[in-house]
Amino acid sequence: MNQKKIIIFPNIDRDPGFKMAQNVKEIIRKALLDAKLCPMIYENYPSDISKVDIETDVFEKELTDAEMIITLGGDGTMLHAARAAAGSGVPILGINMGGKGFMAEIEIDDIALLDSVIEGKYSLESRMMLDVEVIRDNKTACQDYALNDVVIKGDNKVIDLSLFGDDQKIMQFSGDGVIVATPTGSTAYSMAAGGPIVEPTTHNIIVTPICAHVLEAKSIVLASDRIVTVEIGYKKHNPAYMSVDGGRHISILSGDVINVTQSGMCTKFVRITDRSFYQKVNEKLGDKGR
């Protein structure tokens, strides 16, 4: 029988020297489980990682037969792990070492709760994802997928946007941009821009205008099987960009069409506490979370 393998996915910015990651690794190995330390890698990773004298493993290699990923960081670390593991079906347990840490299951002070994971006393929660495609001159210019949101914004200038659901016009406005979010992403940028909070296990697509220059432009919640289309108006001197899950900026040109649909992939989160979504909202976003 193969030994169960757990990937530890730390963010060096949140866990300097991977000290907490080493603690987690020791807890797992004491339970006679295999633990692999696979640090979060940025496109331009800080040179600090080369100064850490700790043996690490390659995430993609270890993912193939892993049972779980444990992230150490904030929501950004969990998003990075979700994107790296997309399509694998490997569930993610988030340990918050960041700010709000809304997606994380436990805080760093609750590390003793890892015993539940070791004993197999946990459940899995499925979260929908989005596929995004940029069409330029009738050809696919870019494809990506998101757990949180797809953000389209002007580059320091107002842009013209037309939004459609299954080819039916939803709204048209000039403004800073638009957010197309999953229920998981509804508590992130979309909420800050005035969008609704949606239960994360539901299947919906949330469209939220950013600083729209028209009274009628409001956030709208669509069924998950809709094809959401964003068309960029023809203003050659007003460039725009797209960011998926807070990642790198992708240039968007006048006349580009962005299609966003529910993905065939999903992300699974590990749940070991009995905190409800509403408790978490009040803890993280209410007066106590300030």
Q: Are 189 and 219 in contact (CB under 8 A)?
A: no
Instruction: Report the C-alpha gap between 43 and 12 in whole angstroms.
Output: 14
Strand order in the sheet with 240-244: 220-223, 204-210, 177-181, 149-154, 240-244, 250-252
Q: Are 122 and 100 in contact (CB under 8 A)?
A: no
Identify the CATH number of the domain in which residue 91 sits: 3.40.50.10330
Threshold 0.85, pTM exceeds = yes
Q: What is the pLDDT of residue 235?
A: 67
Across 73-77, 173-177, 209-213, 283-287, least confident range: 283-287
| Structure confidence by residue, pLDDT tens digits, 85-102 | 999 999 999 999 977 778
Number of folded domains in the chain?
A: 2
Identify the CATH number of the domain in which residue 213 sits: 2.60.200.30
Across 143-147, 237-241, 244-248, least confident range: 237-241
Residues 195 and 214 in one domain: yes
Residues 34 and 56 in one domain: yes
Residues 109 and 220 in one domain: no
Top-confidence range, 12-21, 131-140, 245-254, 273-282: 131-140
Residues 225 and 177 in one domain: yes
148 is in which domain, residue-wise?
Answer: 129-264
The residues that are catalytic are: 75
Q: Are 83 and 75 in contact (CB under 8 A)?
A: no
Residues 240 and 200 in one domain: yes
Q: Is the pLDDT of residue 136 over 90?
A: yes
**How big is the CA angle at 5 (ends 76 and 45), to the nearest 5 degrees?**
35
